[in-house]
Structure 1
Amino acid sequence: MGTEPLKTVIIGSGPAGYTAAIYAARANLSPVLYTGKEPGGQLMITTDVENFPGYPDGIMGPQMMEDLKKQAERFGTTIKYELIQRVDLLGDVKKIYTESGEEIAAHSVIISTGASARWLGLESEQRLANKGVSACAVCDGFFYRGKEVAIVGAGDSACEEALYLSNLCPTVHMLVRRDEMRASKIMQDRVMKQKNIKVYWNTETEEILGTDEVTGVRVRNNVTGEISEIPIAGFFVAIGHIPNTQLFKGVLDMDDTGYLRHRPDSTHTNVEGVFVSGDAADHVYRQAITAAGTGCMAALDAERYLGEKGII
């Protein structure tokens, strides 16, 4: 890459990374984007995306990511299909080390490493992914209007998604592993008041049923040992996400679960010249459109930072 540090490096792809690249490239920052081990992020395992503005007929997740990548490249982004293994973000010039051993120097870094959904670990869960199994009710609930669904989880997110699904589905079967939820009392109260949400306490998922699509779920009561089957068309996993931020541990401020912190009304992290966008910092919305929005913000923040430093 030469001896002169790059103006900006983007770590991670997906809607946040590619949008940051589009804006950074149009600002003549000549960004270099490292895709990581999952180019395109979570949308690469999503089939129909119907809630992203501008696609009236919907679009396949991988195709949408390909479109965003091409748009970023059109304006001069360099895409590298490599994983970043180590970073040194302290100091005016940041050092980034790839898995292949290359060292890259940059004046600014935009982090767009995203988050990964937690799964139960069942073979049937992976086999039926996008065939009735989903980790995002807001993304996919629309496809199950008028159909019975199950959701597993007991936190605020699980309650929110169960309530969302209850407006679309005749019955939402909520599977809770313990005899209580860990969600806030107000969220629990809302769930319990919703007549078409049926809560199963002390219940664990044994198997998701179906060959080409979900037809039911086999559950076990972990107190009585009783096994039963519930006919459903959709199975939603809401047991949390894991932000892909381990690379920055001990350097960047993060909350107890690993989501990166940033200054209010900006994408600035606690380290000067380092910005964060997308699901690596967002444990609330986690949508493609919100990730793209923060990618835009991070690129604008990086551009202003570089301007103030006299680098551009």
Structure 2
Amino acid sequence: MTSEKVSCLIIGSGPAGYTAAIYASRAGLNPVLYQGGQPGGQLTITTEVDNYPGYPDGITGPEMMINFEKQAKRFGTDIRYGLATEVDFTSYPHKVIIDGKKEIIADSVIVSTGASAKWLGIDGEERLNGRGVSACAVCDGFFFRGQDVVIVGAGDTAAEEASYLAKLCRKVYLLVRRDEMRASKIMQKRVEMLPNIEILWNTETVKLNGEEDLESVVVKNNKTGEETVLDVSGFFVAIGHKPNTDIFKGYLHMDETGYIQTIKGSSCTNIKGVFACGDAQDNVYRQAVTAAGTGCMAALDAERFLMEHEVEVIMEEASA
């Protein structure tokens, strides 16, 4: 196995990783960034992005990530293809294995591996992703203003996104698989009070219809077996996200769902020299702009850590 020593290693791309790279490069940390299994992150499967500041006419997700990557390269970031497959944070400097065959020894590590939306796995879901199918109502709800849409889910996120869509859309069907919701009582009450939200209990999605764009959704009552066709142009999945943090388990503190826990007001984890940013540690906002903000924090925290560590080493050498 080959080995390489770096000052700052960034694991994962997307708004958080690329922003961390921009700041780390400008600070002279000579960062190396491995893009991960989905270079550019979730935005690469998003069509129009209208809510990121600085793009008055909007931009597509893939175009935005190309711009982020170009900017990071402009300042000298070493951007590479590759997936982190294993880490060892038991000693310092930290060790990260890339693609199971290369060892990176890093003085600082920025984790920006993101999170992946959970999908239903039904017919038409992947094909129509970005063409009527979405996993983020806040990101894409604007495009369905005045239209009829479906949202799937029963937790607080689904209730919150249904309420958000109700402000924009003519009709919102909320599909709940059981005869009750998991959402908090106050969130359920909010949904029930909105006149243009119709909750379909004991209802599951069968398939999505449409060639170029979503045209309708076939749903089934799992008690009676009766199928119904809903003529809608939007289909939102709100059944949760899974943070891409499995390789860090046992090293970094996480919540019960796998989101990395950081020290309040920083990107610092429980391991010195390891920082987390973006959707790998944010289970609340999950927006491109907030991910970029935490990427900036991570680079600044890493720079501060490396400076302090260098001073400590110099002091140790002087007292030896």
Global fold match (TM > 0.5)? yes
Describe the SS at the equivalent of 1:62. Answer: helix
Query: Structure 2 length normalisation: TM-score?
Result: 0.95
Taking the aligned partners of 1:189 and 1:254, their CA distance within structure 2 comes to: 31
Tell whether 2:196 aligns with 1:206: no
Query: Matches of residues 59-70 of structure 1 in structure 2 within 5 Å?
Result: 59-70=59-70
Q: CA deviation at 1:6?
A: 1.5
Structure 1 residue 138, shift from structure 2 partner: 0.5
Query: Is 2:277 the counterpart of 1:277?
Result: yes
Shift of 1:49: 0.6
2:102 maps to what in 1? 102
Question: How many angstroms apart in 1 are the aligned matches of 2:260 and 2:36?
Answer: 18
SS at match of 2:109: strand
Q: In the alignment, what sits opposite 1:24?
A: 24
**Residue equivalent to 1:297:** 297
1:50 counterpart residue number: 50
Alignment coverage as a number of residue pairs: 311
Preserved contact between residue 107 and residue 306 of structure 1 (Cα < 8 Å): yes
RMSD of aligned residue pairs (Cα, Å): 1.3
**Counterparts of 1:123 and 1:150, CA distance in 2:** 16
Partner of 2:74: 74
CA separation in 2, counterparts of 1:196 and 1:203? 18
Q: Is the 8 A contact 2:162 2:174 kept in 1?
A: yes
Q: Does 1:151 align with 2:151?
A: yes
- 1:100 CA displacement: 5.0
CA contact (8 A) 2:3 2:104 kept: no
In the alignment, the residues of structure 2 paired with residue 100 and residue 271 of structure 1 have an alpha-carbon distance, to the nearest angstrom, of 23
Distance of 1:51 and 1:90 partners within structure 2: 41
Structure 1 stretch 227-236 or stretch 83-92: which is displaced more? 83-92
Q: What secondary structure, in the 3-state scheme, does the structure 2 residue paired with 1:261 have? A: coil
Q: Which contiguous aligned blocks of 4+ residues in structure 1 show a shift greater than 2 angstroms?
A: 2-5
**Contact 2:159/2:183 (8 A) holds in 1:** yes
SS at match of 1:37: coil
1:92 maps to a residue whose letter is: Y
Pair 1:141 & 2:107 matched: no
- Retained in 1: the 8 A contact 2:128–2:212? yes
SS in 1 for 2:126: helix
Task: Give the TM-score normalised by the residue count of structure 1.
Answer: 0.98
8 Å CA contact 2:174–2:198 kept in 1: the answer is yes
Q: Report the CA distance between 1:3 and its aligned residue.
A: 7.7
Give the Cα separation in 1 of the matches to 2:4 and 2:10: 17
1:268 equivalent in structure 2:
268
Q: 1:250 deviation in Å?
A: 1.0
Residue in structure 2 matched with residue 111 of structure 1 by the alignment: 111
Work out whether residues 5 and 93 of structure 1, in 8 Å CA contact, stay in contact via their aligned partners in 2: no
Q: Distance in 2 between matches of 1:238 and 1:257?
A: 16
Aligned to 1:221: 221
Give the C-alpha shift of residue 91 in structure 1.
Answer: 2.1
User: Alpha carbons of 1:308 and 1:4: their partners in 2 closer, same or farther (altered >3 Å)?
Assistant: farther
Q: Distance in 2 between the 1:290 and 1:123 partners?
A: 32
Partners of 1:28 and 1:90 in 2: CA distance: 27
Q: Is this contact kept in 1: 2:23–2:296, CA < 8 A?
A: yes
Work out the percentage of aligned pairs sharing the same amino acid.
61
1:90: how far off? 2.4
Q: 1:226 to 1:156 in 2, by over 3 A?
A: same
Q: Secondary structure at the match of 1:301?
A: helix
Deviations 1:247-274 (Å, cap 9, x if unpaired)?
1011111011100001000100111110
- Is the contact between residue 4 and residue 103 of structure 2 (CA under 8 Å) also seen in structure 1? no
Q: Aligned partners of 1:242 and 1:120: how far apart in 2?
A: 13
